[in-house]
Amino acid sequence: MEQLSILGPPQPVRVSSALWEVWTQDSSVIERFESKRYRRRDNQCWPWLGAVSSTGHGSFRATSLPGHGRRGTVPAHLYAFQLANGPIAKFGWSRTDDLEVCHKCDSHGCTNPAHLRLGSSSENRTEWASRRGDPNGPLADIRGPAGRTRAIAEAVRYGLKHHESRELIDARIRTAELAGLPWTLW
C-alpha cells in the first residue's frame, strides 16, 4: 500500500469547497491555469506545462495561503475537473473512502476534463493496479509518471516556442509519449 500511495493517485488534498469555489471563479486564477495547460481536441490529452509532482501530476499554485509548506498549491487535474464541473462538496475530507479525481487516460499530466472521472479511492486504486501491467499503457513508461509528464511538457513547450503548427506539436507529443514505452524500437 505504501508503494501505491507513492506511485498511484496523489494523496487527498484538503481544500474547502468554499476555496475551490473562489479559485474556480476568479478570472486571474483561471487565466494563470490556462496559461499552463495545452488544450487540444476533446479526445486528446491536454498536457500540463507547469510544475510536476513526484506522482507525475501537474502542480498548480492557485494562491498563497498562510502557514508552512505549499498551501494553496493543488494538483492541476483536480483544478481542471472542478473548473469544468464545479466544486465537489466535502472533497478529500471524509476519513474512510474518499472521492478522488482519476485519469481515464492514465496520463497523470493530462488536464482534459473529458479524461477525468470521479470515483472512490479504493475503486481508483484497484483500476490503477489492474492497468499498471499493460506494457503499452502510460503506466508502463520507464521514465516513471513524473518523467513522462515532463517529457511531454518539454515537447509542447519546444513546439510553442518555435511557433510550430498544431499538427507538428501533436506529432512531438506522440513521439514524447512513445519514447518511454519499453517496447519502442528506435
Interface with Zn ion (CB under 5 A): 45, 105, 107, 110, 112, 115
Coil, strand or helix at 112: coil
Strands (E), the chain: 51-52, 58-61, 73-75, 99-103, 116-120
Supply the minimum distance, in Å, between the C-beta of residue 40 and Zn ion: 9
Supply the minimum distance, in Å, between the C-beta of residue 65 and Zn ion: 29
Q: Which is nearer to Zn ion, 112 or 124 (CB)?
A: 112
Supply the minimum distance, in Å, between the C-beta of residue 155 and Zn ion: 15
Supply the minimum distance, in Å, between the C-beta of residue 113 and Zn ion: 10
Other residues' Cβ atoms within 10 Å of the Cβ of residue 28? 8
Other residues' Cβ atoms within 10 Å of the Cβ of residue 90? 11
Q: Which is nearer to Zn ion, 72 or 147 (CB)?
A: 147
Which grid cell is 135?
Answer: 506494457
Pick from 90, 54, 58, 63: which is nearest to 77 by CA? 58
Q: Which is nearer to Zn ion, 72 or 119 (CB)?
A: 119
Q: Which is nearer to Zn ion, 59 or 112 (CB)?
A: 112
How far, in Å, CA of 168 to CA of 175, rounded? 11
